[in-house]
Structure 1
């Protein structure tokens, strides 16, 4: 997909807004330290020996066995054409809006269990049902299969009576990549035009060069430069036995024609390795005349809302995302002044934080 040239007139409603959240909790220090000691060392080992039989496929199953914070939600198992999914509804949420959610995990790991707490919190914050998709993963499937699974999720929502103005596509990390690619595919094929896109620490650029040059290549508490280089090589080389030895090309959302996309919100850490992806995507959206609200959170780990049970910053980010979702679906919900209410809520939160 060719990138459109940067010659757009940016209307005020389409301009990029950039908000930096400077305050950080004691919990964020502990989570960052744990990430450096545990996750980063596993990632470092994977970069050295990526061809070992790493048990990534078991992570989600193990997560389902772990103790978890209690959340009351109605969870309905769903079977899409090629994968499992869950329809998650916090108590009392509206039936007038829905979220299609794609989990993170580097296209290799995680799933419905690892992200159930985040999705439940998002359902409550957005006053919406959430269809979370356990899409097919590498290396036994291609990324195109995961996109197809997300498209099937959109069709499932449409069959339940949800129109495009009632649906927001969301995801974190690799799921952020899928959220953009699924939204682009849905608009292109006229399956549905979502009301918005909400992402957390999205992977948007398959080319690692920009990230490797960034200061966060050494500061990130989760990923290493070697791991990023190896991951980029892995994406370029992964192939299936029935492919005839041909690797599928990994397209980058930042290189697509973004002009048809709905409003977007992006939340990322100012210290993570994927910060350049978040910033570049926000810039490309702005150049394409698409409104983008970019939130940067100081001293947080990559994909920090996944730890919202522990991190107050994660809970706050989910609340902001929920407000965004309610705002962009307000017209379909028959509620006037959604943007005004959302901005007023954020201004009040910023004033409280500064006070």
Structure 2
């Protein structure tokens, strides 16, 4: 109800007047002014080549696994402050350090810049001594798009081949037609069909990264090189078709994908894990996935062929 009354009405207003000077860039700064919930996590500011980042570690975190996290926010808003609490929970659930990347955003920068910032974050983790198979790339909403595209870019450039990808309510298809035809176009508690149409036209104007060897959308990419994937989404949200189509395309490419659809939840519900038990449970599932795909092979259990 809160999402319908507050967030959805803001989105509806933006769709009616998208050219106004909306203060999206200030949202993360305002979130940084709010009192923080008590956390025992160790937080280290990081400076990447072109943006800020933050290295988050729960107490006693294993030094053998790490997560690169790309936050959501429609490529326009949110950042390290809005997603710090989620990173702290994820670090504890996965027993891993989490690097949140405060990537460059629209409209001042291009989406390819955000992907480059994600690759820069991967390089930073590698320089800390982590191996490819100890790293998982994760993200929510637009950050889910960036998680897939960053991994594809890193593999293509032979920077790294991460052990897994974990996403929440990922935006994976820039073409709005499939979403607009879905029954959730009128049921989503956060986004309107009109806002999706406006956003799609906006993405056309800013030019998605098709001109540097990247496909416009993760669902249209060559996916066979990707590691195992986990996707969580609400069964009632507007981006459910994106989650389902991505799972279908991954399966067709021979890539394992664990798709979890949650009834009665809003878009990106784990971001509200402080008040949603389902959000906390989803984060635990992601933590289990990270532990699984980064698990070290027990050499003693491997038999030498006779």
Identify the residue that residue 220 of structure 2 maps to in structure 1.
255
Distance 1:333 1:157 in 2: 24
Query: Is the 1:99–1:129 Cα contact (8 Å) retained in structure 2?
Result: yes
Runs of 4+ in 1 over 4 A off after TM superposition: 332-337
Alpha-carbon deviations, 1:236-281, whole Å to 9, x = none?
0127xxxxxx9xx971000000000000000000000000000000
Picking from 63, 72, 76, the partner of 1:108 is 76
Identify the residue that residue 232 of structure 1 maps to in structure 2.
200
Identify the residue that residue 66 of structure 2 maps to in structure 1.
98
Gaps of 5+ in 1: 1-32, 240-245, 338-355
Q: 1:336 to 1:99 in 2, by over 3 A?
A: farther
Query: Is the 1:166–1:333 Cα contact (8 Å) retained in structure 2?
Result: no
- Give matches, 1:1-355, under 5 Å: 33-238=1-206, 251-331=216-296
Aligned positions, number: 298
The root-mean-square deviation of aligned C-alpha atoms, in Å, is 1.8
Alpha-carbon deviations, 1:53-93, whole Å to 9, x = none?
00001100111111332221100000000000000000111
Query: Is the 1:236–1:250 Cα contact (8 Å) retained in structure 2?
Result: no
Distance 2:128 2:119 in 1: 14
Displacement of 1:332 in angstroms is 6.3
Query: Is the 1:100–1:169 Cα contact (8 Å) retained in structure 2?
Result: yes
TM-score by structure 1 length? 0.82
Q: 1:335 to 1:268 in 2, by over 3 A?
A: farther
Query: Is the 1:271–1:300 Cα contact (8 Å) retained in structure 2?
Result: yes
Displacement of 1:331 in angstroms is 2.5
Query: Is the 1:204–1:252 Cα contact (8 Å) retained in structure 2?
Result: yes
Query: Is the 2:144–2:167 Cα contact (8 Å) retained in structure 1?
Result: yes
What's the secondary structure of 1:113's corresponding residue?
Answer: helix
Query: Is the 2:215–2:221 Cα contact (8 Å) retained in structure 1?
Result: no
Displacement of 1:287 in angstroms is 0.3
What's the secondary structure of 2:56's corresponding residue?
Answer: strand
Query: Is the 1:69–1:309 Cα contact (8 Å) retained in structure 2?
Result: no
Query: Is the 1:218–1:224 Cα contact (8 Å) retained in structure 2?
Result: yes
Gaps of 5+ in 2: none
Query: Is the 1:206–1:250 Cα contact (8 Å) retained in structure 2?
Result: no
TM-score by structure 2 length? 0.94
